[in-house]
Structures are given as C-alpha cells and as structure tokens.
Structure 1
Amino acid sequence: MQKLKSKANAKANANVKNSAITTNKRLYTERQKSHFLVHSVACLGTEVHLAACPLEFNKGNSSTGACEDGMPAVVSCVAGPLYTHNVALKKKLKVSKNVRLKGGTHTAEGRVEVMRGGKWGTVCDDRWNLQSASVVCRELGFGSAKEALTGARMGQGVGPIHMNEVQCTGQERSIWSCHYKNITEEDCMHTEDASVRCNTPYMGYEKTVRIGGGRSRYEGRVEVLQALPNGTQRWGLLCGDGWSTKEAMVVCRQLGLGYANHGLKETWYWDSSNVTDMVWSGVKCTGSEMSLTQCQRHKVFNCQKAVARFSAGVICSETASDLVLNATLVQQSVYIEDRPLHMLYCAAEEDCLSKTAAQANWPYGHRRLLRFSSQIHNVGRADFRPKLGRHSWVWHACHGHYHSMDIFTHYDILSVNGTKMAEGHKASFCLEDSECQEGISKRYECANFGEQGITVGCWDLYRHDIDCQWIDITDVKPGNYILQVVINPNQEVSEMDYTNNAMKCSCKYDGHRIWVHNCHIGDAFSDEVERKFEKYPGQFNNQIMN
C-alpha cells in the first residue's frame, strides 16, 4: 500500500513538474515576440481598468523605438476567497466583515451596506462612481467594479444610511478610509441607495447546466451535464421531488438569468426535448451556491416519479420583489387581549389558535392573545404576487374572503434557547396596497375578487384588530422571550433577498402584562450583537439599538 502511495505521489509530482515546464516554455515563447501594440503603461494601481492608465499605442508595424529593450508584460492573478478551492489560501485571503452586498443575483453584485456601531446601513448614491465602487469590490475579495449603480437598482435598504458623497482615490483598503459625509433624512432616502457590480473570474458555471422546453430562455426543464465512466458526457434531467425556489435560485444565478420566480416539480406542459432520462435526485441547496454542483444530492439515484413530466423546472426573472416588515410599528402597537371563545369560532376554523383551544369549554372561557399590527413594505424591483393565480384561491365562507397563499407569515414566541413556545400564522387572505409612497399608484385591491399583490413602493397593513393578527399565548408562562415574525416563510414567492424577511423583538411577560422592545429586522446587526440579543433578550442593552 505504501509503495502504491509513493508511486501515486511521484506521478502527481511529475505531472505538476511537466505542467510547470510547459507553462514556462509558453511564457518564454510569448516573451520573445517583438511586436507590441501597447507600451509605456504607467498605472497608479487605483484605476478601474487598464484603459484608464496612461499608455502609448504602437502605430506602426515595427517595434523600433517602442519598447526596444523591453519584453511582453506577464501577470499572475490570484482568485478571491469565494473562487479558490485552496483551504489555506481561503484563510489567508480574508474579506472585510464591515461591508456586504445585498439584493443582487450574483455574489459579486448588490446594494452596498456598511456597518457602524454594530448596525448595518446603506450608502447614499450622491457622487457615487466606479472608483469608490472598486474599493468596495476589492475589499470583498473581487476585482475592480464593472458598474457603479445608483437609484436603488438592487432594491432599497432598511434602517440607517451611514454614508453620503463617498469619494475614494482608489488606493484605500476599505470604503471607511475614503472621504465621506454623514447625512440626515433630508439629505438622502433609501430610493438613492448605491449598488455595485464587480468584475469576477470566469468560472464557466453556465456550461454544466441548461434549461429547455419553455416559452422563452427564462424558463424550462433543468438539464445538467453528467460525466460518464467511459469519459463521455451526457445531458440529463433532475428529479422534481423536493425541488423548490432555493434550488431554482441557484440555476437562475448560474445561467445569469436573474432571480427565480418559481421552482417547479412538474413540467408536463413544456415541450419535450431529446433529453428524457433523469440523472440527479435529492438536490438540496441553501440558495447561495454559485453552481448546482455545490449543492447536496443523492449519491445513488432515487426518484419516486422518474419520468420527464415530473422533472424539475424553473422560471427566472430579471427582477424580483423584496418584502420587509416595519419593526417599529410592531413595537408600538403590541398589546394583550383576553378574547371570549364565542368570538373565535371563525379563527378556530382557520387554525389561528393554539392546539389546546380544541380542549376548551366552548363557548365559555377565553383565549389570551398577543396582538399587534404589521405593515409589510415591498422595497424590491417587481410587484409581489401570490404564487397561485386566482383560479386556485380557496374561498373561506366564515370570514368571506379568499386565501391566495397557505401561509403568508409566521408569528412565534421563542424561548431564549430558540424553542417555540407559542405560534400563530397569517394566511394571505387579502394582499393589497394599503398605502404607497408619494407618486406611486395602488395597483391591487381585494374588493370584488380583485387581483392581489403588493406594488413596488407600497405596503400592506394588517391592523391589530383583524382576526388572526395575533399569537395565542394562553399557555405561555411568565418569563423572557423573543417575538419573531417571518414573512413568506416557505419562500414560495421570489424575492431579491430573503435574509431581511424575519423580525425579532425582546419580550418580557409577567403573566398579566407584556413589554416588547428592541424590535429589528433579523440581519440589521452584526453577528456579535445578534448573538448577544438572542442569548439575553430580556436584559439586552437598549443603547445598542439607539
């Protein structure tokens, strides 16, 4: 066995050596060329691309007088931490924890967010340019900036705006080292959030997956390129079992087709192609992967319905919605109500009470409800629409309304260690535009079986006095808890960013009254501050939130 290992190592070393010799020979040959198109390049190192550097063109066909004693320039590039498989190099190439990109379809694009005092905030787009954007890209381990975007092109942020009129020379290691101004609400709004698209190494991810059979290039059955034992390759379908929006997100990203509108488990209505065999099953992604090959899947193919009509499919879109809950309104509107059982028959039918309500002495007695208002804003770039068309909505006679989604929000009371102590849910019986930003018209209204949705720049308000807008806390004992609200919890509808769908608050309940404070969007703070909040919700330092 030891001899076999030694031979294998020797062979590997020989391959590396031969590869190095071949590379050196090629570079040596290239360096012998005497014809140069460009010479006398004098970059400062802060330019966003080579064409921005001072340089001279060789106008003639001869190299005489141009780089007479010089040789061809050679560069050696190192991929950023997200693109290298070398573990040691990944640890060495650390990226900043004080800057992040949000809302983009790719890992190297998005709304620029920076951290100050443990809080994430956005950057105003006044005087935003490629030079400043390149500092952000390099700080995050990418190349220079391809585009410096303005006008919230990657969706609007939530919370503070930390920087305005950022001016970088290009030499800075961090955007925080650039000159900038602090702002007030009068100076800038989230409709002016700055974004970037960074240059990245070409990885060829799109060569191993494709979609076909749909009405456009944005939809179709998913096909992957599989390597066979005999050294050949073939295209095959994916089993639709367990396929969801998360997996579809990866496919759309991998193909450069934007966001995932739907991840489909059945594709019988699309034209069949020459590919009919399934090759993968059990594909599970987190949604952040750059390629399907980075997701988990069955080692041995196992599919209940291994026929083409039940293969996985996607519908992609260049834009998507982005829902965010108004955390401040939750904190301001929360209260406890002891509601008589005889007023809760409809709510019980809709499963809006805790399980112990079934054993209650109906219609006598009451349930203790934690009530609050929720205002859900669409800050994305596309309207939020229910996954199902209205032909599939379910009529609920008791309340006299249609359900367009099974679950629209989760309402939970969690213990300090994350155990669910009480829960509620809100079926999206009426998704509509309650109010809109100035200059934006309402498009959705539930009356008369109208279309449901939330327009970009508008919000849907569920008042605290509406049925099911509560958590049944009848069985909750006094103590410190976390109130958690999650919008679109099953990710049934496409969004630009799912990390801002959760809201958390500190709760203190003494058996009679409840105090709710420190309400915030789940990704609004640094990991360190968030861990401290979850560990000590009742005693969390309120100064951090201010």
Structure 2
Amino acid sequence: MMVDLSSSLWVLCTLSALVPAWTQQDPQPTNRSPNQSSGLKFRLAGFPRKHNEGRIEVFYNQEWGTICDDDFTMENAHILCRHLGFTEATGWTHSAKYGKGIGRIWLDNMICSGSEKSISDCNSRGWGNSDCTHEEDAGVICKDERIPGYVEPNTIETEQRQVEEIRLRPVIASAKNRLPINEGILEIKHRDAWEQVCDEGWSQTNSHVVCGMLGFPSEKKFNKNFYKLYLDKQKPSFRLHSVKCAGTEVHLSLCPLEFYKVNNSVSCQNGAPVVVSCTIGPVFTGSGAPGQTAMKKKKVVQQQQREGIIRLKGGARPGEGRVEILKNGQWGTVCDDRWDLHAASVVCRELGFGSAKEALTGARMGQGMGPIHMNEVRCSGNEKSLFDCQYKNITQEDCKHSEDSSVKCNIPYMGYEATIRLAGGRSLHEGRVEVLWGPRGEERWGLICGNGWGTKEAAVVCQQLGLGFVSTALQIRIVGGRTQFEGRVEVKLGTSWGYLCSDGWTTKEAMVACRQLGLGYSLHAVTETWYWDASNVTEMILSGVRCSGSEMSLQQCYNHRTVSCKNTGTRHAAGVICSETASDLVLHAALVQETAYIEDRPLHMLYCAAEENCLSSTARNANWPYGHRRLLRFSSQIHNTGRADFRPKAGRHSWVWHECHGHYHSMDIFTNYDLLTSNGTKVAEGHKASFCLEDSECQELVSKRYECANFGEQGITVGCWDLYRHDIDCQWIDITDVKPGNYILQVVINPNSEVAESDFTNNAMKCNCKYDGHRIWVHNCHIGDALSEEANKRFEQYRGQLNNQIQ
C-alpha cells in the first residue's frame, strides 16, 4: 500500500546519509559503509522516533525499500544492527509496528546464521522477490551501544534531528499565565542552546504542526503588535528558516526546511523570530479529566445528535488509549486496517490533544467489547473529526477485537507551567503565594504582587491549589524500591520532604500517585513499607489522603488539615507498586439477559448457601428445612480485556478454605448483585466471593493459566474469561420478599476496587427487569458505559414508569 511520507518519521541512524524526503535525492554512501562496493546502505525509519530502533530499510539498486518479517529472526536483527553501527540487537518487530513503508520490499524469507558480514550473504528469495505487503515490514531494536571507533556521519539529516526538541518561550512572567505555556517565541534546541526560527514565509500551517508537537489541538491568533515591540529590543540567534509544512505532518522535521549556518551574521535580515500561539485542550484547563471525553458540554450535545463522539479507553496516561466511537447509540471500536498517523492525529486533535506520537494496531491498549464500527479508515490529516474521514462500515465477522486500533497523543509538557504553591505557612493550607514560571529547564519561583489582592483572587488560588488544575506544587516521589515503579511515597512541602500516613491508603489513592508520577497504574497500595530501604526522611507531613481515583495529582484529593495518624513511624508509611499495564474486567451483558430465570429452591438444598451468606436476612427465620426461597438466577461471564492478568489482591497464604464448596476463597467480595427500585433503593442483593477465579475459556491462541483445583493459582488471563453458570451456588439474588414491579438488575465486578484495573467505569452492568410475582422479564442489559448519554437517560426513565398490567 502506498502511503504519504508525512505518515512516518524518518531517522538516519548510521552508515547512510538520509537527506530530507522532499528533495527526492538518494543518500550518498559514507566512507565507513561495509557495503560500499555493493551500494548497500541502511537506515531506520518510521515512528516513534528513536535513534536505535525503527523500521529497517535498505538502499539497493538506487532505491530504498523494506524487509518482510517472514522467517525473520534475532540473527537477522544482529547483522542489521551491526550494519547500522550498533554492537548487537535486543529485539525485532513484525507487522509494521513502526508504520508501513513505501516502495519496494527488497528481501523476503531472509534467513541468517548470525555470522555473516553482510545481509547479502544470507539466504532469501532474492532481491525484490517477495509475496509480502508493507503491513509485514520488519523492524529492529538495537542495543544503544556503538561499535568501537564508530563516528556518526555529520550530514544534513543529523541537523534535521535537532528539530526534535522545541519549546515556546513566553515573554512575560505573570501569575495569570494559563496552564500550561501555550504562547511564545518558538525555539529549537541546538548544542545545549536555544535558538529561534526566522518568520519569513512562516504560515498558519507551520504553526498548526508546532502546536500538535507540543500537545495542543490547534493554533490561534495572537497580538502581533505586542510581540513586535518586544522583539525589536532583542538580538535573536536564528537556526531555522524556509519552513513549508502542509499542516498534516506530525512532526516539524517532516516539513521542508532549511538551516542557517552557525554564526551566520546575515541570517533573517528582513524577518523576526517566529511566535506561535496554541489553543489548550479542556483536559488541561480544569474542565476535563483523563477518564472523561475532552469536550465541552455544548459540543457533546451537538455531537450526540449526529452520534460523533470519540473517547480513549485503556491508556495508562492522558492522551493514550483504545479508540472508541459512539454510533447507533452504542460505543464500539475501530479496526486497525489502514490505521496510520494521519487518522490517529485526527482523533488526538478532536479530543483536545496534539498530533499523534504513535498509531497503534493489534489491540495494544486492550481489546474492546461490543460492536466494531469502522474499518479501513483513511484520513488526509486535515479533518476535524474521524467521522469526516473515509471508512467502511463492517460487521463483527470482518474484524476481531484483537485488531482494535489505539493511539498515543502528544500532550503539553506540564513541568514548566505557571504553577502556584503556598510557602512559609504553619500548615498545608496557609502561606505566602508563590508562582513557578518559566520555560523548560529555566523554571523559577516568584511572588505575586499584593496590589489589588482580594478575596476573589485568593479564592481562585485556593481552587487552583486544591481542585481542577494539574499542579506540581505538591511534589511527590517514590524511594527505596527495587525498581523505579515501586517505593515509599514521599511528599515535598516547601523545602522539606516527608512521608504519608498509610491509614486508609487504598488502590484509589495509589492510582492517583502512580498517575502523577507518570508510572501508569497502581498494582498494589502498600501500607507497610519497612522492607524498603530507608531514606533520611523521618517526618510524617501528610495524612488522611482520600481520592476518588480520577484525580491527576494527590494535591487534588482530600487530606487532613493537621497531621493525624493512628500508626506512626516510617514502618507504616504509604507506598505503591506501579505498573504500565493493568487488567480490565468486563461482564458479558447479553449472557445475563439470555439466561435469567426464576427458581423456587427448597430450603434443604440451601444449607451451604446460607453458610456463605448468599440468602436474604429473612432466610434466618424460615422453617428449615421446609419451604423454599425464590431466586433470580443467571449466568455471568467475566472477560479480562486489559493488558495484564487479573490476580486476587491477597496472597495464597491468606486465602480462606470453605469446606462447604471444597475450595479456597481469594477475595471477600468479587461481584455484587442488586435489585433496585425506581428511585434506586436496594430491595434485594447477592454477592459472590471469588471462590474459584480461573480461566474457563480463552480466545484463540491464548492459553489458560489459572485453575483453582488442588489449591491452584487463581486469576483471569488477558484474553480469557471466567464463567459462573446459573446453576452454581450463590449465582443468584434472593427475591423471596420482593413485590411485583419494575426494577433494575445491577451487577458490579470488583466493587471495592481492591484490584487495580485500567478502567473501572465498565465494571457495572444494568438491566431493565419486570416482575409480576410469578415470572420475570430481563431486557436491555448493557455495560454502564456502553451506551450514549441519551440511551442511558431513556434507560433511567424506565425505572420511573408505573407498573403495567402484564397480560
């Protein structure tokens, strides 16, 4: 398939000198190429941009081409990495992980022993003889260690890579600066110095690309006269000029551009430094959150009318996740056929982020549930919405959820925001207001002028310190762990570091800490940290931290005004074990609807269930063993669609043996079953301990790992599901005392959030339920976040309807 060059980021890593793609010139061989006589040259291409990994491309017969992943091995990768100037390979990739190349596929079924000096000595089908497509392009990951004596060629492309780090330098230090910095003079880092770009010929499309790189959805107008007065007094140092972007590029280095020579005294004589102003996405202005769609309410209503809402699911950080779209009132996924950076960037910008860093395929952010709405999406990159791109409507048979598409978007750099803090006070809630301001690497704290300072201004500061803003004023770190992903949580207030009290420290608080640290999800919320190496921090400075789990930092959570902790000492300091992946449990709603029925079960068959507290409280007063209990029974099939296995929080040593059922319970409560009235009052309930968490069935090519027989390991593997049949004890709700009427059947998995998941919003399932005293009708079962707001509203309205006489 042919793709536009702007969909990939080209990186010259070694022996070849890759010139900008727009010149259409072939790179010249270097003096150090081992294949000089044969004309072979090698380079890494694709995205994400890294100097030691990417799609492997070879220059043969005056043309660049790719290598097919058929029969590809580590031995192949070792030889190719040596061609690129690295000592060896640490891995290789298949299925065009770094994007699809263009042009010829030069080699297929290449088989090397590892001792060859050149890939031309390896066995293959021959140059240009291939039955592959570019969807099978191979990539390599080289060890970041150069061959002794290797010198990277000094070419125009090595200069081009200097564009990778850019920033906007604001010209006024003001407490009113928005978060984060989104307007200023465009600067490019070169040899530890920041230099400017000449604005001669600078266009709006150039600004659009820059804003996308910096994590902003689009560019906007600014006061040119203000900057002219400022820039007339400056002596800028120019590095770049003649930038000509189309506006669809995901990186400035993909645009045609030219560099000034160092110390060029006549550069940009008729111009001035480029100034760029970008719009800020709602997530970073306090009007949104990572788990919510990044749109304002008015826009949501407008898009709901045309069912054009997009969201990201399963990502460990803001701006990344599985792409899901709302269509026909139901959320569904996008198949990854033809999925590329253009389409991914349209999604990112639509959600209020910048351009895409990666367009991921193969359900890299976990598999979705429900319908697959789109396939073969083709975008130019200029579209305002993914729905404006060309795509195919498909059925479930055309694509599988193992082919769900995902994205990683550029987000604003949050380390040099105009952040505020309180300093010098007697507690966390009082003190002198200070502002952190400045560009990356040059941040500094300063004071706010007190002239005109009043109650309203102070209220704004208090709101920013506690709610709605991503703030680094309350800094945290983890220390003492064996890896960067674990340790005791320490907090910095003013100039002092201290630890947190672990009273009430749960998965929710630990989730926020891991998110603030950029380490993904919380695998464990640790309440005793004595076994980690101690630091010189001995003072507790924060306690009573309570979070909902969706906050961006611990500063946005509730905490005690004064330190109060039941267990003192660093032994009981709060700690975390973070992970970039997590499980995600989802109930198969349709199966509940298909299997629901009523059973009148004799009491003499319920002794075991009564022992495990699976009946309503009135069962204690029944005339045992005579009579019966009326049970609403159904099957539940719980899928793990995440990126990590679901494991019980408690270790095997603390599992409880239940003689009645002959197995161990690994969690006190695994699922809650409730019957609710029209106003949400609970009229009947049930619960299921995880008395046998195991892999009942798995997807194709996925092997079962967990089985509870013989005190085996318990859990649910990624791609597998645990099936509780309707005829298993406690797989019911005791409705003996329930009167006829309309109800809601609700099932909640992992209700106490004891085990970390990437998404807790899909843990609840609801069904409409009509009971006439003899029969029951269960319909419209769906996961809590599976429908549009309008569909959920109609569902909720049903609860208030009067009971209809059933014919």
Q: Same fold (TM over 0.5)?
A: yes
Taking only aligned residues, the RMSD between alpha carbons, in angstroms, comes to 2.7
1:101 matched to 2:312? yes
* Separation (CA, whole Å) in 1 of partners of 2:593 and 2:497: 53
- Residue 49 of structure 1: CA displacement? 1.9
Equivalent residues in 2 for 1:273-312, closer than 5 Å: 273-312=535-574
1:179 matched to 2:390? yes
Contact 2:679 2:799 in 1 (8 A): no
* Separation (CA, whole Å) in 1 of partners of 2:502 and 2:230: 48
- Residue 470 of structure 1: CA displacement? 0.5
State the one-letter code of the partner of 1:225.
K
Contact 1:367 1:474 in 2 (8 A): yes
1:164 matched to 2:375? yes
* Separation (CA, whole Å) in 1 of partners of 2:612 and 2:287: 53
1:120 match: 331
Contact 1:222 1:237 in 2 (8 A): yes
**CA distance change for structure 1 residues 180 and 298 in 2, over 3 Å: closer, same or farther?**
same
SS at match of 1:428: coil
Equivalent residues in 2 for 1:527-542, closer than 5 Å: 527-537=789-799
**CA distance change for structure 1 residues 368 and 52 in 2, over 3 Å: closer, same or farther?**
same
SS at match of 1:249: helix
- Residue 538 of structure 1: CA displacement? 8.4
Contact 2:679 2:800 in 1 (8 A): no
* Separation (CA, whole Å) in 2 of partners of 1:151 and 1:511: 49
* Separation (CA, whole Å) in 2 of partners of 1:252 and 1:136: 26
1:62 match: 264
Contact 2:591 2:636 in 1 (8 A): yes
1:221 match: 488
1:436 match: 698
Counterpart selection for 2:284 from 67, 74, 83: 83
For residues 134-179 of structure 1, give each alpha carbon's deviation from its aligned partner in whole angstroms, at most 9, with x where no partner exists: 1111111111111111111111111111111111112211111111
1:5 match: none
1:6 match: none
SS at match of 2:238: coil
Gaps of 5+ in 2: 1-172, 178-182, 186-225, 289-294, 416-470, 803-807
Contact 1:163 1:183 in 2 (8 A): yes
1:188 match: 399
For residues 308-329 of structure 1, give each alpha carbon's deviation from its aligned partner in whole angstroms, at most 9, with x where no partner exists: 2122111111211111111111
**CA distance change for structure 1 residues 199 and 337 in 2, over 3 Å: closer, same or farther?**
same
1:71 match: 272
- Residue 92 of structure 1: CA displacement? 10
1:371 match: 633
- Residue 452 of structure 1: CA displacement? 0.8
SS at match of 1:37: strand
TM-score (norm 2): 0.61
Contact 1:396 1:403 in 2 (8 A): yes
1:143 matched to 2:354? yes
- Residue 93 of structure 1: CA displacement? 10
Name which of structure 1's ranges 23-32 and 409-418 shifts more when overlaid on structure 2: 23-32
SS at match of 2:653: helix
* Separation (CA, whole Å) in 2 of partners of 1:110 and 1:389: 30
- Residue 79 of structure 1: CA displacement? 2.6
* Separation (CA, whole Å) in 1 of partners of 2:312 and 2:299: 16
Equivalent residues in 2 for 1:389-428, closer than 5 Å: 389-428=651-690
* Separation (CA, whole Å) in 2 of partners of 1:260 and 1:246: 8
2:246 match: 44
**CA distance change for structure 1 residues 412 and 294 in 2, over 3 Å: closer, same or farther?**
same
Q: Return the index of the structure with the highest Cα Rg.
A: 2
SS at match of 2:609: helix
State the one-letter code of the partner of 1:82.
V
* Separation (CA, whole Å) in 1 of partners of 2:409 and 2:556: 22
**CA distance change for structure 1 residues 30 and 359 in 2, over 3 Å: closer, same or farther?**
farther
For residues 499-530 of structure 1, give each alpha carbon's deviation from its aligned partner in whole angstroms, at most 9, with x where no partner exists: 11111111000001000011111100112221
1:28 match: 231
State the one-letter code of the partner of 1:137.
C
SS at match of 1:247: helix
**CA distance change for structure 1 residues 84 and 30 in 2, over 3 Å: closer, same or farther?**
farther
**CA distance change for structure 1 residues 26 and 155 in 2, over 3 Å: closer, same or farther?**
farther
State the one-letter code of the partner of 2:409.
C
TM-score (norm 1): 0.89
State the one-letter code of the partner of 2:324.
E
- Give the total of aligned pairs: 517
- Residue 446 of structure 1: CA displacement? 1.2
State the one-letter code of the partner of 2:247.
G
1:524 matched to 2:791? no
For residues 376-428 of structure 1, give each alpha carbon's deviation from its aligned partner in whole angstroms, at most 9, with x where no partner exists: 11111111111111111001112211100000100111112111111000000
Q: 1 or 2 for the larger relative contact order (CA 8 Å, sep ≥6)? A: 1
Contact 1:212 1:273 in 2 (8 A): yes
SS at match of 2:637: strand
**CA distance change for structure 1 residues 490 and 339 in 2, over 3 Å: closer, same or farther?**
same
2:587 match: 325
1:235 match: 497
* Separation (CA, whole Å) in 1 of partners of 2:268 and 2:297: 37
For residues 284-326 of structure 1, give each alpha carbon's deviation from its aligned partner in whole angstroms, at most 9, with x where no partner exists: 1121211111112222322222322122111111211111111
1:544 match: none
* Separation (CA, whole Å) in 2 of partners of 1:377 and 1:27: 60
* Separation (CA, whole Å) in 1 of partners of 2:174 and 2:527: 48
1:258 matched to 2:258? no
1:134 match: 345
Gaps of 5+ in 1: 1-12, 228-232, 541-546
State the one-letter code of the partner of 2:365.
M
Equivalent residues in 2 for 1:455-470, closer than 5 Å: 455-470=717-732
SS at match of 1:299: coil
1:111 match: 322
* Separation (CA, whole Å) in 2 of partners of 1:285 and 1:517: 35
1:382 matched to 2:382? no
Contact 1:501 1:522 in 2 (8 A): yes
* Separation (CA, whole Å) in 1 of partners of 2:615 and 2:297: 52
**CA distance change for structure 1 residues 345 and 481 in 2, over 3 Å: closer, same or farther?**
same
1:3 match: none
1:271 match: 533
- Residue 36 of structure 1: CA displacement? 2.8
SS at match of 1:82: helix
